[in-house]
């Protein structure tokens, strides 16, 4: 029975009926009135039950309308008591603080690269303000409901924002009070001109309180040419901790940015994401580079620009870059003293092969990275890996990932082994490459060279394409390698002295078996069952479908284009599939 019909079937005093129809919290006077009415109904119920008991003892030869009437009156009193108890239920008497905590759990999912928080009246927090005055009061006075906001704004001419939207931003973020709020503005080209609306420039918008006091700012724009005016004020952005600037189009490579000085007053800025906003002509004064501890810069940096940015950011701890034109056909070579980054512990690189040759040598020369612990490289296009230009920066490396579309020819397997030989402390390795695995695994057997990866504990391999061997040749090679590193020598490795290499703890394999993946995986699973019984953490699966999120040894996703997203709000606001890359 619907609540409205349930109330209609019960005769209640008018004021009690109004309480029952609403969701308002009750005052002490209202509660006292409800309690008195419950006591009255309880007395009536006791009297009716007493009369009904007497009637049941009397035998009457005719239909007993008295009993039916008493039963109806009893049911009515029970319903009255039930309704009144619901009106006075504790949920309607919660303190605003508790109600606010409940409201925060009603928020829709955090903003992602696919969906954003906006002024949707059907979602929290706005829908909570439309229930009743007490809920509205609780929502407005719960700052955590208002600490992030995204506006998608059609931008027909210049970087301008309608005045009414600016006022809504100010009201929304003002309710966040002193919390570190996130403001995301997405300005998109509009080719059909809407009705004229009063607008203000982005520069003027960001100069108004509380917008000028945001801690986390994310701006996406069609082109970056007009963006910089908004960040030149010397007295602005004093609370800014993280900044994202994205342009939908590639920047003008000839634009002169060397004379600009942005964010001179942002002394708290530590995290930045700069996508398609840097030209070739930048300077050390363009940005407060030296303050940054976390940086994503891309998507199309030249190796020269990448090296220059690295030289400015001397306090970096975590860095991700999208780079093109960085391989052996590029003429730039660093000169002078190597750039020292004493705190850089995580370095993520995405290589866009677009305009480069097939030979791929990562330009590590000219850098000194004594704190580097995690190094990840991905290629978005097919290219041939030919090693690093300098292997001296990796003695303390703990995690290495080489993923994407790299091809390692038999003649270059030794370059990869040279990399492994330069990383004696490496404990986690992920490979998603095309390589002759028979040659690679033969080199990684402890009997071949105990000095290669002696501390390897976690191994993850993605076999997506078969260029150098047939899929059916892979399972026995993989089994022999895992057994050898689990201290279960196969017959060919009986003389192996396991004391020089620590035990492998986890192995993950994603396998493209060309239609026979499950058959090959079953073969591997059965062969390694004794290792699993002793404690090996083994994960086997067919090559993951697009959009799936496979298990990884290391805390990252192959979707390196979104490694930067956890920079926002220092990781407190997390979105995208990667959620621990920038810890």
- Say if 231 falls within a structural domain: no
User: Into how many domains does the chain fold?
Assistant: 1
Give the mean pLDDT of 228-232: 72
Q: What percent of the chain has pLDDT over 90?
A: 19
Give the mean pLDDT of 555-569: 42
Give the mean pLDDT of 103-117: 62
Highest mean pLDDT among 242-246, 393-397, 477-481, 495-499: 477-481
Rounded distance between C-alpha atoms, residue 430 and residue 443, angstroms: 16
Give the pLDDT band of residue 411 (cuts 50, 70, 90). confident
Residues 6+ apart with CB under 8 A from 112: 575, 576
Res. 431: pLDDT tops 50 = yes
**pLDDT computed for residue 559 by the predictor:** 39
Rounded distance between C-alpha atoms, residue 343 and residue 583, angstroms: 14
**pLDDT computed for residue 195 by the predictor:** 56
Rounded distance between C-alpha atoms, residue 9 and residue 477, angstroms: 77
**pLDDT computed for residue 295 by the predictor:** 92
Give the pLDDT band of residue 110 (cuts 50, 70, 90). low
Closest by CA position to 324, among listed 280, 283, 366: 280
Phi, psi angle pair for 456, to nearest 5°? -70, 120
Q: Is 354 helix (H, G, I), strand (E, B) or coil?
A: coil
Give the pLDDT band of residue 329 (cuts 50, 70, 90). very low
Give the pLDDT band of residue 97 (cuts 50, 70, 90). confident
**pLDDT computed for residue 206 by the predictor:** 83
Q: Are 460 and 430 in contact (CB under 8 A)?
A: yes
- Say if 74 falls within a structural domain: yes
Least confident range from 354-363, 422-431, 565-574: namely 565-574
Three state DSSP letters for 230-298: HHCCCCCCCCCCEEEEEECCCCCCCCECCCCCCCCCCCCCCEEEEECCCCCECCCCCCCHHHCCEEEEE
Give the mean pLDDT of 522-531: 94
Q: Is the peptide bond before 208 cis (omega within 30 degrees of 0)?
A: no
Rounded distance between C-alpha atoms, residue 5 and residue 18, angstroms: 14
- Say if 378 falls within a structural domain: no
Rounded distance between C-alpha atoms, residue 141 and residue 97, angstroms: 9
Give the pLDDT band of residue 158 (cuts 50, 70, 90). low
- Say if 21 falls within a structural domain: yes
Look at 63 and 74; give whichever has higher pLDDT: 74
Res. 466: pLDDT tops 80 = no
Rounded distance between C-alpha atoms, residue 458 and residue 339, angstroms: 31
Give the mean pLDDT of 76-93: 82
Res. 535: pLDDT tops 60 = yes
Rounded distance between C-alpha atoms, residue 52 and residue 48, angstroms: 6
Give the pLDDT band of residue 478 (cuts 50, 70, 90). very high
Res. 1: pLDDT tops 50 = no
- Say if 337 falls within a structural domain: no
Highest mean pLDDT among 280-284, 295-299, 368-372: 368-372
| Structural domain of 67 | 3-93
Closest by CA position to 368, among listed 333, 393, 390: 393
Rounded distance between C-alpha atoms, residue 346 and residue 332, angstroms: 24
Closest by CA position to 24, among listed 113, 120, 134, 168: 134
- Say if 109 falls within a structural domain: no
Res. 313: pLDDT tops 80 = yes
**pLDDT computed for residue 24 by the predictor:** 64
Residues 6+ apart with CB under 8 A from 266: 236, 237, 238, 240, 243, 288, 291
Q: pLDDT digits over 112-127, tens only?
A: 443 445 567 777 888 8
Residues 6+ apart with CB under 8 A from 313: 289, 290, 292, 295, 319, 341
Sequence-distant contacts of 19-23: CB under 8 A, at least 24 apart: 19/87, 20/83, 20/86, 20/87, 22/132, 23/92, 23/131, 23/132, 23/134, 23/135
Res. 513: pLDDT tops 90 = no
Closest by CA position to 282, among listed 261, 297, 296: 261
Give the pLDDT band of residue 8 (cuts 50, 70, 90). low
Q: Are 393 and 368 in contact (CB under 8 A)?
A: yes
Rounded mean pLDDT of the chain?
78
- Say if 494 falls within a structural domain: no
Give the mean pLDDT of 94-100: 80
- Say if 428 falls within a structural domain: no
Give the pLDDT band of residue 494 (cuts 50, 70, 90). very low
Rounded distance between C-alpha atoms, residue 557 and residue 555, angstroms: 7
Rounded distance between C-alpha atoms, residue 227 and residue 256, angstroms: 14
**pLDDT computed for residue 336 by the predictor:** 73
**pLDDT computed for residue 362 by the predictor:** 67
Least confident range from 98-102, 121-125, 203-207, 288-292: namely 121-125
Closest by CA position to 528, among listed 494, 496, 470, 485: 485
DSSP type of residue 529: H
Q: Are 542 and 495 in contact (CB under 8 A)?
A: no
Give the pLDDT band of residue 223 (cuts 50, 70, 90). confident
Res. 86: pLDDT tops 90 = no
Q: Are 399 and 428 in contact (CB under 8 A)?
A: yes
**pLDDT computed for residue 561 by the predictor:** 42
Give the mean pLDDT of 559-570: 44
Give the mean pLDDT of 346-362: 66
Rounded distance between C-alpha atoms, residue 573 and residue 110, angstroms: 7
Highest mean pLDDT among 68-72, 365-369, 424-428, 515-519: 424-428
Q: Are 410 and 468 in contact (CB under 8 A)?
A: yes
Q: pLDDT digits over 35-69, tens only?
A: 898 999 999 999 999 888 888 877 766 667 888 88
Q: Is 158 helix (H, G, I), strand (E, B) or coil?
A: coil
């Amino acid at each position: 029975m619907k609540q409205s019909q349930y109330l209609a079937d019960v005769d209640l005093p008018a004021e009690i009926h109004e309480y029952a129809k609403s969701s308002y919290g009750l005052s002490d006077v209202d509660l006292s009135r409800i309690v008195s009415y419950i006591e009255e109904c309880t007395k009536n119920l006791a009297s009716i039950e007493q009369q009904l008991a007497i009637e049941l003892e009397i035998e009457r030869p005719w239909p007993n309308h008295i009993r039916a009437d008493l039963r109806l009156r009893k049911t009515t009193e029970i319903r009255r008591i039930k309704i009144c108890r619901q009106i006075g239920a504790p949920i309607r008497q919660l303190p605003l603080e508790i109600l606010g905590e409940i409201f925060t759990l009603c928020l829709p999912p955090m903003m992602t690269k696919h969906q954003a928080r906006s002024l949707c009246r059907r979602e929290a927090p706005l829908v909570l303000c439309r229930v009743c005055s007490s809920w509205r009061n609780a929502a407005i006075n719960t700052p955590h409901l208002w600490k992030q906001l995204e506006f998608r704004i059609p931008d027909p001419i210049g970087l301008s924002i309608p005045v009414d939207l600016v006022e809504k931003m100010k009201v929304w973020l003002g309710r966040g009070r002193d919390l570190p709020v996130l403001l995301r503005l997405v300005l998109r080209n509009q080719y059909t001109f809407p009705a004229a609306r009063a607008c203000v420039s982005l520069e003027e918008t960001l100069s108004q309180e509380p917008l000028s006091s945001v801690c986390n700012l994310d701006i996406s724009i069609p082109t970056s040419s007009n963006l910089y005016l908004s960040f030149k004020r010397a007295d602005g952005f004093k609370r800014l901790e993280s900044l994202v600037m994205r342009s939908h189009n590639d920047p003008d490579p000839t634009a002169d940015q060397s004379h600009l000085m942005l964010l001179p007053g942002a002394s708290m800025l530590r995290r930045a994401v700069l996508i398609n906003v840097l030209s070739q002509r930048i300077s050390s004064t363009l940005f407060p580079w030296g303050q940054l501890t976390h940086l994503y810069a891309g998507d199309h940096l030249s190796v020269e620009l990448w090296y220059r940015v690295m030289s400015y950011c001397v306090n970096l701890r975590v860095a991700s870059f999208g780079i093109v034109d960085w391989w052996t056909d590029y003429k730039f070579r660093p000169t002078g003293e190597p750039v020292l980054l004493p705190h850089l512990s995580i370095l993520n690189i995405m290589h866009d092969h677009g305009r480069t040759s097939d030979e791929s040598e990562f330009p590590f020369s000219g850098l000194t990275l004594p704190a580097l612990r995690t190094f990840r490289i991905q290629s978005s296009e097919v290219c041939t890996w030919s090693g690093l230009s300098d292997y001296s920066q990796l003695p303390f490396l703990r995690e290495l990932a080489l993923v994407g579309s790299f091809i390692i020819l038999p003649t270059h397997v030794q370059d990869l082994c040279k990399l492994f030989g330069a990383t004696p402390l490496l404990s986690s390795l992920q490979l998603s490459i095309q390589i002759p695995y028979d040659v690679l695994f033969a080199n990684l057997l402890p009997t071949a060279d105990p000095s290669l990866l002696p501390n390897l504990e976690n191994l993850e391999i993605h076999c997506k394409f078969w260029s150098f061997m047939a899929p059916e040749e892979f399972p026995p090679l993989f089994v022999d390698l895992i057994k050898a590193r689990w201290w279960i020598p196969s017959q060919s490795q009986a003389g192996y002295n396991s004391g020089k290499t620590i035990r492998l703890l986890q192995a993950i394999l994603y396998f493209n078996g060309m239609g026979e993946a499950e058959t090959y995986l079953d073969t591997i699973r059965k062969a390694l069952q004794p290792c699993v019984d002793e404690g090996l953490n083994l994960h086997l699966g067919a090559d993951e479908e697009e959009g799936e999120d496979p298990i990884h040894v290391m805390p990252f996703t192959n979707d390196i284009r979104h490694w930067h997203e956890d920079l926002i709000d220092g990781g407190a606001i997390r979105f995208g599939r990667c959620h621990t890359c920038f810890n």
